[in-house]
Amino acid sequence: MFNPKRILSPTAATIAAAQPAGYARKIRINTHSYRSDISAETSDTVEIPEVLQSQETLEFIGFRDDVAKKIFDRFMEDQQDMTLGVGSFAGYIEGYIESAETNAQTPHDDWNMTLWSAGLKPNLITSILDPEFDDIRFTRSAFYWAKDTVFMRFEFLQSLDAIILAGGNQVSSAATGRAPGASTVFTQPPTQPSGSRNKPYPPTGVFPLPAPQVGAVASQREIPENHTRLYKGESLRRLKRAMLADGGWDCTLILSNPPADFSRHERELYFTKQREVARRYSVYAWRRALRDIDVGIMELDVDREWLNENAHYIHGEEWKEYVWINRTEGQMPDHLKYLNDTHVLGGPLCASQDLGESCSSVPSLRLAGGDNACQYRFRRPVFDEVNGFTVTISVEK
């Protein structure tokens, strides 16, 4: 949880008082304190900002030094008479990226120029444009991957608060810029029994589920009898933050941003039924995090009979038209509106952000063997109908 003594003060006056000219603080922590693949004997150190809302943080998450200064100066100027929080600071990050003149979407667009205009450092641009992950990259735009990447690193800083406060893995504190501040951390919850089928649907989107077995080797865990296993690949921090200390699961923390294949305006919960697809997404996250942040795969075991009864699967021309309308945020025709009300919707993944002037050429993402990569979109009310979801998070190496 946040330590109020370590977080940036909520008004511009107290921020200014806490940040005397020419003064900054950074700290070094051991990498084995947050990396699952590094032991204490082989651990290196990393320097991180001691103030979460700071110019140093903007530099750390991937902005060039001059851009970081520009964003932070504007942030400070605009906060003179406002109460601010982490969300408003994040808004300046997102706003600067989206202020770039053009947004690259197709293989023919200048992605390098767009990401440079968005203020990113060359090494972060290189990681996003790694040709090994072109199949995943072209499913979204340059703005999307820029925001996703810098916020992944921002969330990483938030997760280090417990390490900093404990002090056991801190190496040093160096004065190089601004005053002390803080982040937040996820605490691994205890295992709890599954929620009851008869519990009312919580309007907040928080659902009682078993806590994850973080660190389990997912590929070696047997699928329960009469169950189907679904997967989601992401940074480990994002997956773990969805698990609550009381044993519940807050799915609102791992929703995908619109517009997406099956959602025009709402953030929705997506899983794939193929582990190799989830692994591609998790490894791409690791690459964009400059190989310095743990990634993982969330596994969701669902009763097969329930899934077969409740899921509606679309393909062919209907899939193309529905994806095209959602991705382009067009007007939904009457004959497709029933899909918006379908609580569990399955179908192929779309392979392109740029879908042209009509739905006729909407491509699907293909696996190495030629099969379609497939996905399920879950609307939150369905979780009240399912008895005994089993959730596991594995650390990917």
Written as six digits, the tokens of 320 are 């193309």
Q: Are 315 and 348 in contact (CB under 8 A)?
A: yes
Q: Give residue 60's identity as a one-letter amino acid code.
A: F
User: What pLDDT sits at residue 121?
Assistant: 98
Q: Do 246 and 296 reside in the same domain of the chain?
A: yes
Domain stop point among 160, 175, 190:
175
Residue 232 scores a pLDDT above 60: yes
Does the residue 225 lie in any domain? yes
Which of 175, 198, 220 corresponds to the end of one domain?
A: 175
- Residue range of the domain that includes 362: 206-396
- Greatest mean pLDDT range, 127-131, 244-248, 299-303: 127-131
Residue 360 pLDDT greater than 80, yes or no: yes
Number of neighbouring beta carbons within 10 Å of residue 87: 7
Contact 272, 287 (CB under 8 A): no
Given pLDDT bands bounded at 50, 70 and 90, which one contains residue 26? low
Residue 173 confidence class, pLDDT cut points 50, 70, 90 = very low
Indicate the number of domains in the chain. 2
CA 351, CA 140: separation in Å to the nearest integer? 9
Determine if the pTM surpasses 0.85.
no
Distance CA 327, CA 209 (A): 32
pLDDT tens for each residue of 328-357: 989 999 999 999 989 899 999 999 887 888
Mark whether 280 and 156 lie in a shared domain. no
Closest CA to 122 of 204, 64, 165: 64
Report yes or no on 196 lying in a domain. Answer: no
Q: Residues 228, 310: one domain?
A: yes
- Among 153, 175, 197, which residue terminates a domain? 175
